[in-house]
Structure 1
């Protein structure tokens, strides 16, 4: 039997995270001898923690959430092309080196998580899209929208100076993006095919109230709210009340988690097992968090 290897999701706050539920379900069905927990870490503590991971040598991987996604970039040995382009990491793959050390490679599966969640909701190519917020998840949203061939991306931000990275990434992935003041978002969002909120829980509550007060229909436009606890969010409820389609952040978490499992399982010595059994992985992960794989966004709104 293989020795039990360690994995975790890192972030702050982290107590609400469903990543341990998702990952442990996947590793159980695959028979991988992995543990996976949630560890509360803030930016000043990250370098020391990664030093511990290197020393201990029994880690297969780490999931990274806010506020660590950008901070992790400069602390790793290698970045995947997508992580390097975005300057944002949500995945750290840990592998042993011939000299007994630990090699840390940063990757970003958020992009594919967003793409798959939107495709599952029926989004087609070349949508006119908006993003709420300009942080680490916003750059992943820009890259995902580029994959979908977005004709335009408008990023609504409170502080334009903090959103420069989003515009830099947009240029790298060849998508036309502009910044707009957050204060005008409520009136403008009805004109988009896709809206992605990258704001933290409750970060869009005031915006939700403004949208509801307008009582305008959005005619089936898709909202992906990456925040999933509590759910439904105020923004999701307001959007659905205006005849919009809602995709919960739990779906993005699900799909990006599937990609993480593939990377972690390979790093842990199980080869392509997770890819070969991807259907089983998705099924048990959906079951673990109560998502209906056939129509997950409706299941999520039902709560």
Structure 2
């Protein structure tokens, strides 16, 4: 997204196009494991409506195979881009030709574009996860949170810091089980202009009760025990309505944390919302010559993954 309030997603709506753009191109999401990914459904639905002749697939790439995989597809002229998920978000930053300033600030990427120049190919790393976080929360009505909490300290947590900054937050607490491994997030915050404090996991339950917004970047089921603790906590019972939760894990859904949050009357933003908003940015990056992905395209993407229409 180009704006955190989501207005960039609602330009004039293009009609269905004929397949005249980017004939016979390829794109994919890479990671391990990857079979659960809904990115192919999102992208292919959009490309069909936009008239872009692109086959977008999910490619299982083990960590030891990553460099060889990139070297191989660099030699294939039909590739336009990659969506990158765990565990490759940090490693690929060292295998691209260049990275955007945001990627340099975060140390992680989730998108690679291919630009062929003469006999070579230039790979550029981008991060659209930050826009995905900001867009998903903005769509829910969240503006300028004053008490923000992030669960988890990996690459998606770094993007969450950037997304909260886009929304106007000036600070965020990050809760992790091994604080020493997440100290780099304070440096990420300093580079972006948002104060980040890494906190021990034992304080997460209290943060859930007090925060305006919570972004869980944990993998599926990793927050299940926390959800049970929070549901039974006195702090949560005394607070009539919790704030807003964005749980980036979308399979299985709803998560235990999302269920507990909704039961308490809080606002739950599904991880599919973040996936949708970051995918729109990827489509723009992969195919800048194609029609702008407007509301009609967004809606077919929502249909493809069972998300509510805009």
TM-score computed with the length of structure 1 as normaliser:
0.91
Q: Which moved more, 1:146-155 or 1:191-200?
A: 146-155
Give the match for residue 286 of structure 1. 302
Aligned twin of 1:239: 261
1:148 deviation in Å? 1.6
Q: Which residue does the alignment assign to 2:230?
A: 211
Query: Are 1:8 and 2:2 an aligned pair?
Result: no
Listed as ranges, the gaps of 5+ residues in structure 1 are 295-303
Is residue 210 of structure 2 the alignment partner of residue 191 of structure 1?
yes
Deviations 1:261-293 (A, max 9, x none): 111112xxxx1x342x42222111011112112
Question: Are 1:18 and 2:38 matched, yes or no?
Answer: yes
Distance 2:144 2:232 in 1: 31
Structure 2: stretches of 5+ with no match in the other structure: 1-19
Q: Which structure has the higher relative contact order (CA within 8 Å, separation 6+)?
A: 2
- Equivalent-residue separation in structure 2 for 1:220 and 1:192 (angstroms): 8
Q: Please state how far the C-alpha of 1:75 moved relative to its aligned partner.
A: 0.4
Greater fraction helix: 1
- The Cα RMSD (Å) is 1.4
Report the secondary structure of 1:56's partner residue: coil
Contact 1:78–1:105 under 8 Å retained in 2:
yes
Q: Is the 8 A contact 1:198 1:227 kept in 2?
A: yes
Instruction: Confirm or deny: 8 A CA contact 2:170 2:193 kept in the other structure.
Output: no
| Residue number among 211, 222, 226 corresponding to 2:244 in the alignment | 222
* Contact preservation (8 Å) 2:23, 2:52: no
Single out whichever of 90-99 and 254-263 deviates more from structure 2. Answer: 90-99
Residue 218 of structure 1: how far off its partner (Å) = 6.0
The answer as to whether partners of 2:183 and 2:198 remain within 8 angstroms in 1 is no
Deviation of 1:43 (Å): 2.1
Displacement of 1:220 after TM fit? 4.0
- CA deviation map 1:132-190 (0-9, x unaligned): 00000000000111112214210001111211221111000111111111122113311
1:297 corresponds to: none
Cross-structure match for 2:98:
78
The one of 179, 184, 189 equivalent to 1:165 is 184
From 208, 212, 221, the equivalent of 1:202 is 221
| SS of residue paired to 1:180 | strand
How many residues are paired up? 287
CA contact (8 A) 1:139 1:165 kept: no
Please state how far the C-alpha of 1:226 moved relative to its aligned partner.
0.3
Superposed displacement of residue 202, structure 1:
0.9
Shift of 1:241: 1.6
Partners of 1:211 and 1:27 lie apart in 2 by 42
Specify which of 136, 143, 161 is matched with residue 124 of structure 1: 143
How far apart are the structure 1 equivalents of 2:91 and 2:117? 24
Mapped to 1, the partners of 2:170 and 2:263 lie a distance apart of: 27
Are positions 1:264 and 2:286 aligned together? yes
SS for the counterpart of 2:123 is strand
Distance 1:218 1:97, change over 3 A: farther
TM-score computed with the length of structure 2 as normaliser: 0.89
Cα deviations by residue, 1:21-61 (Å, 9 ceiling, x for unpaired):
00000000011110000011122221111101111222000
2:171 is the counterpart of 1:152:
yes
- Asked if structure 2 preserves the Cα contact closer than 8 Å seen for 1:127 and 1:148, the reply is no
